Structure 1
Amino acid sequence: MADRAPTLHDVASAAGASKTSVSRYFGDERERLSAALQERIATAAEQLGFSPNRMARGLKGGHSRLIGMLVADIRNPFSVAVMHGVEQACRQHGYSLMLCNTDNAPSQEREHLALLASYRVEGLVINPTGSHQPALDAQTIPTVLLDRRLDHARADVVGLDNRLAIEMALDHLAAQGYREVFYLSEPAAQVSSREQRLASFRHGLAPRGLRGEVHCQAPDCADESLQAALSAFIQRPAAAPKAVLCANGNMTLAATRAFHALAIRPGATGLMGIDELDWCGLVEPGITTLAQPTAAIGHSAVACLLKRLADPARAIDDIQHSPTLMARGSTAAGTPPQPPPAASSGR
């Protein structure tokens, strides 16, 4: 039979301290102990291989030091990158992160919320499945919404400035000489960030002298559907170059596949995406993107949550981060050609 796990009493005996002192060390009152006593307890715990039962402490005192996070689609590169920022910030502040993926399913969202509540998480960072979710609207655990908003929830919001992102994209495409833009997005209904980007796209065309076409499809939709729509767009006669603007990383990948299948050369037909992906700089001639500051977004979400935990009645925060333009060859149609180098005299 395996030896039993060390207990709080074992640590107290090894450190020559009281159980109360050891409990304070592993709780929220460590600063009340002397430096020498803290060192003795830490040494004893390490030698014994003791780790505190956070679950039991949460049930007893309500301080689990756990943060729950719900992401709508863990396959989305944005979700992975922001999750990393959230986890880093949690660790810096002495919290552990519990992650759940909802696959954009409200039923999964409800089940995971109940699960996280049972673990007595102190706060939630949620990337919601939609804009109207009664289970989230009625949430009582301090919550920060990530990227997407809810209709009636009283919660802080952290994400990208979607209006600014679309304006930057359209400004760049117009400056590069493109005049018709094919906007590729996942279905926007009930997802606030997609709705904001789509509305900004439609409103931003005319002031820049652009014409636009919108194509929405799910990430797992058959490639042939996008290829047919994109081919029709490209073949329609036009006096100026055309471009494709992708609303997120999933759509940038789908568009890149369609370009390859249709033998479309990026640049002559522009290609631009929101979200910087690791491979965008590697695919010739390089895909222009608007990079989201995912680490900053993750850290901001945790900072908001900690402020909410300290002061539940404080005013709501709405933090919108700006993207960074990563201009590459896929939007170089309007770039003047460089003159050839001067011929050598041969002397």
Structure 2
Amino acid sequence: MLAYTVLPMVFTPPTRATLIEVARLAGTSKTSVSRFFGPERDKLSPTLQARIEGAAAALDYRPNLMARSLKGSGSRLLGLLVADIRNPYSVAVMHGAEMLCRQHGYALIVANTDNDDAREQDLLDALDAYRVEGVILNATGLPERQLAPLRDRALPLVLLDRDLGLPELDVIGLDDEGAIDMALDHLHAKGYRAVLYVGEAPERASSRRARLERFEARSQMLAMAASSVIAGKDAEPTLEVAIEAFVARHSATPCAVLAANGNVTLAVAHAFRALGLTMGPVGFMGIDDMPWCALVGPGITTLAQPTEAIGQAAAACLLNRLMPLDLAFQYRHRPTLIARGSTQRI
């Protein structure tokens, strides 16, 4: 009878191609390959770049970014923290930022704080541990304490949409005052003389405070009867009750509702439907243009933010701090008015 010996299975992980192997296949030096995968790629001739790129593809070579960072060469990683990844604004901004980062050889790590201060702290710590070279932050609250370790090691930071009152930090976002002026001027030109502003809790974001404060000032300049209400599941009164009372109070005056952002626009649209209000006779306008706004009722008039341009500007601002690229960008962006039937009284 034959005897069999069962040998243990030994897993051998696949070996990674090395930088030296890429250099040998490309017929160049290790230094040139290192430059190709670093910030000095432009110093190589187009012909040499093509050879290195072809060799890396043939060997399926992937640079070890963490090792590069530990050697002081930079990780080529940037971080982007957003307050609410479900918000279409966040998605469009991320796309704009990622495109520009990719063009300049950087990868973007995106994380969602879900409007949670503690999670924001954990994610900032994690990005620091990964040795990202810079961070774009759509702040949840007022995380000055959380930012202290990053500022201590001079990590470049750019704020998205929300100002923390730290003059050394750049802020990229919408021209909030200009947007409110544009909205109220449009409603006034259409004949509305009373307006209800529906926003979210202003203490959570500087942009919310700026829009509310400008609404109060601009409506007074235009002699429009103005009031405001905060939307949310715990808000008192509820949004339906507040809108119903506002319309009843101004039954003899052409009145309109102005929603502060895309989430609020959706909530107001639901309230209009529940109350049986007709858009137009009761004006309705929103800041942020959502894809569905053209499909509701006669179409909802909106102010469209140039979200991808804002994301690109935030990335350009950050990259300018990292290297002398001198990329053009704007700090504050003007929206585009998209007039639809919801602000046509007749």
TM-score, scaled relative to structure 2: 0.89
Aligned to 2:341: 329
**Per-residue displacement from partner, 1:54-99 (whole Å, max 9, x unpaired)?**
2221221241111110111112221111111111111122211111
Aligned to 1:292: 305
Answer yes or no: is the 8 Å Cα contact 1:6–1:49 preserved in 2. Answer: yes
Q: Select which of 75, 79, 91 maps to 2:86.
A: 75
- Matching of residues 1-150 of structure 1 within 5 Å: 1=11, 3-131=14-142, 133-136=144-147, 139-140=150-151, 141-150=155-164
Answer yes or no: is the 8 Å Cα contact 1:131–1:192 preserved in 2. Answer: no
Given residue 323 of structure 1, which amino acid in structure 2 is its aligned partner? P
Given residue 227 of structure 2, which amino acid in structure 1 is its aligned partner? E
- Matching of residues 328-347 of structure 1 within 5 Å: 328-333=340-345
Answer yes or no: is the 8 Å Cα contact 2:128–2:150 preserved in 1. Answer: no
Determine what percentage of the aligned residue pairs are the same residue. 52
Partners of 2:236 and 2:100 in 1: CA distance: 38
**Per-residue displacement from partner, 1:273-310 (whole Å, max 9, x unpaired)?**
00011111121200000111112111111111122223
Instruction: Please state how far the C-alpha of 1:142 moved relative to its aligned partner.
Output: 0.6
Matched, 1:308 2:321: yes
Partners of 1:319 and 1:30 in 2: CA distance: 29
Partners of 1:284 and 1:250 in 2: CA distance: 18
**Per-residue displacement from partner, 1:20-79 (whole Å, max 9, x unpaired)?**
332222223334444444333222211111111122212212411111101111122211
Q: Select which of 262, 265, 272 maps to 2:278.
A: 265
Partners of 1:22 and 1:216 in 2: CA distance: 57
Partners of 2:302 and 2:148 in 1: CA distance: 34
Secondary structure in structure 1 of the residue aligned to 2:50: helix
Partners of 2:55 and 2:323 in 1: CA distance: 32
State the aligned residue count: 329
Secondary structure in structure 2 of the residue aligned to 1:3: coil
Q: Runs of 4+ in structure 1 displaced over 6 angstroms?
A: none
Aligned to 1:341: none
- Matching of residues 189-228 of structure 1 within 5 Å: 189-218=203-232, 220-221=233-234, 225-228=238-241
CA spacing shift, 1:114–1:20, aligned 2, 3 Å:
same
Comparing 226-235 with 178-187, greater Cα deviation is found at 226-235
TM-score, scaled relative to structure 1: 0.88
Given residue 238 of structure 1, which amino acid in structure 2 is its aligned partner? S
- Matching of residues 136-285 of structure 1 within 5 Å: 136=147, 139-140=150-151, 141-152=155-166, 154-218=168-232, 220-221=233-234, 225-285=238-298
Matched, 1:320 2:297: no
Partners of 1:115 and 1:81 in 2: CA distance: 24
Aligned to 2:4: none
Secondary structure in structure 2 of the residue aligned to 1:279: helix
Given residue 239 of structure 2, which amino acid in structure 1 is its aligned partner? L
Answer yes or no: is the 8 Å Cα contact 1:137–1:153 preserved in 2. Answer: no
Partners of 1:32 and 1:296 in 2: CA distance: 29
Secondary structure in structure 1 of the residue aligned to 2:21: helix
Partners of 1:222 and 1:209 in 2: CA distance: 28
Where in structure 1 are there 5+ consecutive unaligned residues?
Answer: 336-347
Partners of 1:87 and 1:51 in 2: CA distance: 20
Instruction: Please state how far the C-alpha of 1:118 moved relative to its aligned partner.
Output: 1.2
CA spacing shift, 1:176–1:138, aligned 2, 3 Å:
farther
Aligned to 1:339: none
Secondary structure in structure 2 of the residue aligned to 1:215: strand
**Per-residue displacement from partner, 1:139-183 (whole Å, max 9, x unpaired)?**
321111111001235211111111111111111111111111111
Instruction: Please state how far the C-alpha of 1:116 moved relative to its aligned partner.
Output: 0.8
Answer yes or no: is the 8 Å Cα contact 2:137–2:158 preserved in 1. Answer: yes
Partners of 2:66 and 2:282 in 1: CA distance: 56
Answer yes or no: is the 8 Å Cα contact 2:313–2:330 preserved in 1. Answer: no
Aligned to 1:343: none
CA spacing shift, 1:200–1:34, aligned 2, 3 Å:
closer
Where in structure 2 are there 5+ consecutive unaligned residues?
Answer: 1-10
**Per-residue displacement from partner, 1:184-233 (whole Å, max 9, x unpaired)?**
11100141000000001111122212111211123x55899211221122
